[in-house]
Structure 1
Amino acid sequence: MFDRLSSLVVALTLVAIAAIFAMLAGGDALTIAILAVAGIAAILVVHGAAPDTTAGARGEAPAEPLPALPGSLLRHPDFARWADQEREPLIGTDDHIVTIANDAAIRLLGRHIVGADIRTAIRHPGAVDALAAAGSPDTLQEIHLADFPRPGHRWTMHIAALSGGERIIFLSDRSAIDAADRMRSDFVANASHELRTPLAAILGYVETLQDMNDEGDGATRHRFLSIIEREARRMQQLVIDLLSISRVEADRFRRPTTPVDLTAIVRTTIAQLKDSDHPRAKDVVAGFDATPLPILGDEAQLGQLAHNIISNAMKYGRADTPVTVELLREGHRGRLAVRDEGEGIAPDHLPRLTERFYRVDEARSRSVGGTGLGLAIVKHISERHQGQLDIESEVGKGTRVSVTFPLAGEA
């Protein structure tokens, strides 16, 4: 192959010979000039295109060739940047060795997994066989990992096989989704149970009355009918509470924008309870003045919140002891607090009191007509109003339930 210098000499020689032949053939001056210009242009093109093999002889480094694209997807810099933007853990392996792990994977499993065997990086009995197998590029494997990486957690692992023994492993956290599914299933089961119990009682006493055929004394019939009415009202209250918690959950992302007076709402609630036929209506004591506490809220929901907290204290406090209702201004927040003098609640029960259908004493709750949804509704209403729910109790002395709300127009 000619170097640049040799190519230039040959080209000049050919142009000169062509010009001489043109003159001998009787060509005019213009033709000879055009031929010379075209030849020189050809020389320049040849000179620029020919490789410069003399650079090495002059001691100069040869020109760098254009970089070739990486043969591995996992080692491509653009892939690494994209992987770090993913919120879920992503791991790349080559012949079972971790070659890349995004930030989410590092946070989950630790930085030490890079360079380690994937079978030791993801230690789970359900993942061993899938991680050890070569895998086919035509299939995407899915493996469910229970209690990974900690007890009570659940993840899904997808393995995508690439050519050349490389694989991409995706991890997805299913813990919250599974917890929501379990909560939904428990809710349906509990609601069905709560409705089935009074319904069975109603049907049983109705059948008994039918079998009596107007026989028996009136006192017995009256007692049976009273039980039927009580159980029917219990079912009615349960349906009302179920509808209430459904509506509150549907509104939980819509912040209230209507100015209301918390003091007026609580006073109205107390007046309604005092006018009821509840045996403890006389025990409710309002321990606050008429000072307004303006907040942004849903008046109906706040009234239900106050009603649930006060009626709970009436149900579970000891008879003939006060149920004290307080409204306090604490800086830029207003606090509604209700205190009873009942049996109190053991500390291990307190974190679960706002769970649906949770009862400290199930038999007692049923006897006083509780549905197990009262404090769950209070929790959802307080969250929608940016409130903070607190429950304090001392066994043998009583319980204090309070909710603080941000006051309107104040920082």
Structure 2
Amino acid sequence: MAWIWWRVLFALSLALGGGFIGHALGAAQGYTVRGALAGALIGVVLLLIRDVLMGRRVLRWLSVGAHEASPAMAGFWGELGSRIERALRSRERQAEAERERLAQFLTAIEASPNGVMLLDASEQIEWCNQLAAEHLGLDRQRDLRQRVTNLVRAPAFVAMLQARAFEQPVQIPHPAGRGLLSVIVRPYGEGQRLLLTQDITERERADAMRRDFVANVSHEIRTPLTVVAGFVETLTNLPLSEVERKRVLALMAQQAHRMQSLVGDLLTLARLEGSPRPAADSWLPLARLGAAVELDARGLSAGRHRLAFDWGQGIELAGNEAELLSAVTNLVSNAVRYTPDGGTVEVSWGQRHDGAGEISVRDTGPGIAAEHLPRLTERFYRVDGSRSRDTGGTGLGLAIVKHVAQRHGGELLIESTVGEGSRFTLMLPPARVRLPVLSAAAQGTGW
């Protein structure tokens, strides 16, 4: 605040100096008082002229945007320019910080998994992120300031905006016909609205699969339960001969086994989905795995098919033995069940050029039409439902094989031609395949 006192002293000095000079000059003419007043007035006028000039410099500096430093001035005007400059620089820093925060906020919205759109009170688009534009089929630059209902014409969406019923989201089809969108609208500010979009195609598909799964499980269990309940009632209420009683008990045992197999497969799937991936350092001989598979296959075939097995020599696999056994057994059992009597089932080991290994199961069954191949690994999917039940399948075998393959880093490959048979291949990555180490003598003989 020292500059205030200096300015007061400067003004008094000019007035006193002017008064003294005016007094001296007026004394010669006999106008001592008037000369002193005139001199003081002239001093004040000179101060005002100086202030006008200084003020013009400050105004000129402000008029060009005040991007440069304030004019170099002393006293009151220097202090005023310096304070204005500090205030302007502070405002600029605040504005820059606000712009950075806004840029960060918009960047965060761009990274959001939801589409975000801002509407004004007239339902015109003020801003939207790229995902919202893609969801609604808009151009985020061209369509700004356009009324959203002129661009998005889904009846449910238009009706929600017109009725201002924002409590529940609405579902609308994707403009490109690729799925389903959920749209939520929330009012804010003075008549403005925040619109959020989310692609729920996968979620709806998962929900549909879950509903189908529950319905299929209920149906698969209810059918044998109904049969068993009917037989129990028959045994209770009707006098049966020994032969009839044995036949009824055999059918009951068959249906109970079917339910047991279904529950076992469901538990296997639940265990596969809920447990960690098998370690890649636990090795098991493929020959041991193959012996167990071969024993089950020959028992299931009972001599009705030509079976051929080739498990290679000294091959070892890294993984969970129970899971791999379940997967290969399912593939071989399916081949035996669906191959007519007298047909051939061949199981062989092979290795790809990249080191990956594969267990292939080839049969001479009726084959599968191409349109069914992509869905074969879905739970309870059957090409021919009645025939699958007759063969004793649960509809979960290939789903189990697919899960086992994925948990071991591999995949299930399916090839089939109607009338010629099918080939199912369980492929395992190179890291889970270990070949036998040949001795030096064996290598020398060209083995």
After TM superposition, the score normalised by the length of structure 2 is 0.73
Alignment of 1:106 onto 2:133: yes
The 1:178/1:262 distance shift into structure 2, 3 A limit, reads farther
Partner-residue secondary structure (3-state), 1:167: strand
Query: Do the aligned partners of 1:55 and 1:62 also contact (CA within 8 Å) in 2?
Result: no
1:301-328 CA distances to partner (integer Å, 9 max, x unpaired)?
Answer: 0000000000000000111222100110
Retained in 1: the 8 A contact 2:287–2:314? no
Per the TM alignment, residue 9 of structure 1 is displaced from its structure 2 partner at its CA by 5.5
Q: Confirm or deny that 1:303 pairs with 2:317.
A: no
Q: Which of 229, 241, 244 is residue 220 of structure 1 equivalent to?
A: 244
Instruction: Give the match for residue 120 of structure 1.
Output: 150
Shift in Å at residue 119 of structure 1?
A: 1.4
Match of 2:63 in 1: 61
**Equivalent position to 1:193, from 219, 240, 247:** 219
AA at the equivalent of 2:146: A
Q: Deviations over 1:181-211 (max 9, x none)?
A: 2222211111111011111111111221222
Q: Deviations over 1:227-249 (max 9, x none)?
A: 11111111111111111111111
More helix by share: 2
| Aligned-partner residue type, residue 130 of structure 1 | M
Indicate whether 1:369 and 2:392 are aligned: yes
Structure 2 residue runs of 5 or longer lacking an equivalent are 17-51, 67-87, 435-447
2:368 aligned residue (328, 345, 356): 345
CA contact (8 A) 1:159 1:168 kept: yes
C-alpha distance in structure 1 between counterparts of 2:421 and 2:123, whole Å? 61
Aligned to 1:183: 209
- Counterpart for residue 44 of structure 1: none
SS state at 2:280 partner: coil
Label 1:266 to 1:338 Cα distance change in 2 as closer, same or farther (>3 A). farther
Q: Which residue of 1 aligns with 2:25?
A: none
The verdict on how the C-alpha distance between 1:140 and 1:274 changes in structure 2, with shifts beyond 3 A counting, is: closer
Q: Distance in 1 between matches of 2:178 and 2:230?
A: 42
Corresponding position of 1:160: 186
Tell me, yes or no, if the aligned pair for 2:349 and 2:359 is still in contact at 8 Å. Answer: yes
Assess if the C-alpha contact under 8 Å between 1:382 and 1:403 holds in 2. Answer: yes
Do the aligned partners of residues 6 and 167 (structure 1) sit closer, same or farther apart at CA in structure 2, a change above 3 Å counting? same
Counterpart CA distance in 1 for 2:250 and 2:433 is: 52
RMSD: 3.4
**DSSP 3-state at the match of 2:378:** coil
Tell me, yes or no, if structure 1 residue 129 matches structure 2 residue 159. yes
Separation in 1, partners of 2:224, 2:344: 31
Gapped regions of structure 1 (runs ≥ 5): 19-49
Residue 62 of structure 1: how far off its partner (Å)? 5.5
TM-score, structure 1 normalization: 0.78
Distance between the aligned counterparts of 1:230 and 1:123, measured in 2? 57
Correspondent of 1:270 among 289, 293, 300: 293
Pair 1:247–1:204, CA change in 2 (3 A): same
The answer for the alignment partner of 2:254 in structure 1 is 230
Tell me, in whole angstroms, the C-alpha distance in 2 between the residues paired with 1:97 and 1:191.
50
Change (3 A) 1:217 1:77: closer
Give the Cα–Cα distance (whole angstroms) in 1 for the partners of residues 301 and 411 of structure 2. 29
Residues 367 and 419, structure 2, Cα contact 8 Å, conserved in 1: yes
Tell me what 1:29 maps to.
Answer: none
Q: How far is 1:350 from its partner?
A: 1.2
User: Residue 286 of structure 2 contacts residue 317 of structure 2 at CA under 8 Å; is this kept in 1?
Assistant: no
- In the alignment, the residues of structure 1 paired with residue 404 and residue 394 of structure 2 have an alpha-carbon distance, to the nearest angstrom, of 17
Q: How does 1:307-346 map to 2 (within 5 A)?
A: 307-331=329-353, 332-346=355-369
**1:27 match:** none
Q: Which amino acid aligns with 2:63?
A: A
For residue 281 of structure 1, report the CA deviation from its aligned partner.
7.3
**1:205 alignment counterpart:** 231
Aligned residue number for residue 79 of structure 2: none
Q: Distance in 2 between matches of 1:85 and 1:249?
A: 30
Match of 2:264 among 240, 249, 253: 240
